[in-house]
């Protein structure tokens, strides 16, 4: 989750354009895409806000983010609580009960993005409400501890702790993991960690422009590394603050390195076309497909990193992705 275009801070969030043909397939990715007109609105606002973002990244980005978050959807109920970690830290969680709950046998556990160094329950409140209402499912969001104050493996351990709590508290419930950017990374890493533990396997996974690979010399990094939504320098800095230099071969940090694909449940990837992280998602999607794991990938044209969160500008596009591709994928599992 992430401060756009600023070295040593976070990875920011962009936008999406709806056209007659809104998505590319993997075979159509030629690394020559450009941000859509709507994406550029957000990128231009980022440039205007850069001075404030440099002064106090977390606070200034919070204000920027909320200014583009749109109107909150009403849900049936919102309940805040805590889950106690193994070291006695109290992990904040928030549970959203949708206005209509047709998937009462399921819970979506949402893990926010922010480059492992930023993001919060509050900042993702708008998106979690929308996911709850459109997918008609209960959503549990959490505030894992952030790097650089709490580097790997603390954020992953916090996420695992909340997953374990959900599994124990709702033993008959199907758990659907979801997350964006760094949260998508933690979701995929969580699947690997769960496969080595005695926890039940997640039912499915919904990943939004997830950070899955540490290859910062890939084609997508070279093609889109200067786009302020998430630059190559941003991503390198985020990786360093989260995991340092000693985890380059660790699948719990870079999930594409996982050899046994059975660790992952059916997974849908919602990628951004103009995003340095595109190749990592295509790589894991391809490995899952070759291993016979149910998977799909959607790449909306002209999108940049973070487009699911700019609901003020892109509510229609986000709604369409959740109502159609995402909901249909879950229904087929």
User: Mean pLDDT across the stretch 302-326?
Assistant: 91
State the pLDDT at residue 19. 36
pLDDT per position as a tens digit, 189-220? 999 999 999 789 999 999 999 999 999 999 99
166 neighbors 140 (Cβ within 8 angstroms)? yes
pLDDT per position as a tens digit, 67-108? 777 789 999 999 999 999 999 999 999 999 999 999 999 999
| Percent of the chain residues past pLDDT 90, beyond the cut | 76
CB contact set of 39 (below 8 Å; sequence gap of 6+): 14, 15, 16, 17, 229, 274, 302, 303, 304, 307
Distance CA 78, CA 97 (A): 6
State the pLDDT at residue 53. 64
Angle, alpha carbons 213-270-23 (nearest 5°): 120
What are the φ/ψ torsions at residue 96 (nearest 5 degrees)?
Answer: -110, 125
* pLDDT, greater one: 324 or 29: 324
> Is the pLDDT confidence value at 10 over 80?
no
Please provide the average confidence, as pLDDT, over all residues in the chain.
Answer: 89
| DSSP class of 27 | G
Q: How many CB atoms lie within 10 A of CB 121?
A: 16
Confidence of residue 134 (pLDDT cuts 50, 70, 90): very high
Token pair recorded at residue 81: 């609580």
Distance CA 57, CA 37 (A): 26
On the 0-12 / 13-18 / 19+ scale of CB atoms within 10 A, 115 is buried
Please tell me the least confidently modeled range out of 19-23, 176-180, 317-321, 326-330.
Answer: 19-23
Token pair recorded at residue 96: 């959203």
Angle, alpha carbons 121-212-261 (nearest 5°): 110
Q: How many CB atoms lie within 10 A of CB 153?
A: 18
- The structural domains of the chain, ordered by start, are 23-331 (3.40.50.1820)
On the 0-12 / 13-18 / 19+ scale of CB atoms within 10 A, 95 is middle
Token pair recorded at residue 124: 């993702």
Distance CA 199, CA 166 (A): 11
What are the φ/ψ torsions at residue 9 (nearest 5 degrees)?
Answer: -120, -130
Distance CA 94, CA 7 (A): 31
Catalytically active residues are 181, 275, 305
Token pair recorded at residue 220: 């997508």
């Amino acid at each position: 989750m992430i401060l756009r275009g600023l070295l040593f801070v976070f990875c920011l969030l962009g936008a999406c354009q709806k056209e007659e043909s809104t998505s590319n397939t993997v075979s159509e990715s030629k690394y020559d895409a450009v941000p859509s007109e709507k994406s550029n609105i957000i990128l231009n606002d980022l440039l205007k806000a850069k001075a404030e973002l440099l002064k106090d990244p977390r606070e200034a980005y919070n204000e920027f983010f909320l200014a583009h978050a749109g109107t909150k959807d009403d849900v049936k109920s919102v309940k805040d609580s805590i889950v106690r970690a193994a070291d006695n830290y109290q992990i904040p969680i928030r549970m959203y009960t949708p206005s209509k709950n047709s998937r009462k046998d399921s819970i979506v556990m949402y893990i926010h993005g922010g480059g492992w160094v930023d993001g919060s329950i509050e900042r993702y409140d708008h998106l979690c409400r929308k996911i709850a209402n459109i997918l008609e499912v209960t959503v549990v969001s959490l505030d894992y501890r952030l790097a650089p104050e709490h580097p790997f493996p603390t954020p992953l351990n916090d996420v695992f702790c909340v997953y374990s709590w959900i599994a124990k508290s709702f033993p008959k419930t199907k758990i659907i993991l979801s997350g964006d950017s760094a949260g998508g990374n933690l979701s995929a890493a969580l699947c690997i960690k769960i496969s080595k533990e005695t926890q039940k396997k997640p039912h499915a996974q919904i990943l939004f422009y997830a950070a899955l690979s540490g290859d910062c010399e890939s084609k997508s990094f070279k093609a889109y590394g200067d786009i302020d939504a998430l630059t190559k320098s941003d991503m390198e800095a985020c990786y360093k603050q989260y995991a340092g230099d000693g985890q380059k071969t660790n699948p719990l940090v870079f999930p594409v390195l996982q050899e046994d694909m059975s660790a992952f449940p059916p997974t849908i990837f919602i990628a951004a076309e103009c995003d340095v992280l595109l190749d990592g998602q295509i790589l894991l999607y391809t490995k899952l497909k070759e291993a016979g794991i149910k998977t799909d990938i959607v790449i909306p044209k002209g999108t940049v990193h973070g487009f699911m969160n700019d609901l003020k500008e892109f509510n229609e596009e986000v709604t369409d992705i959740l109502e159609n591709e995402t909901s249909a994928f879950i229904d087929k599992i």
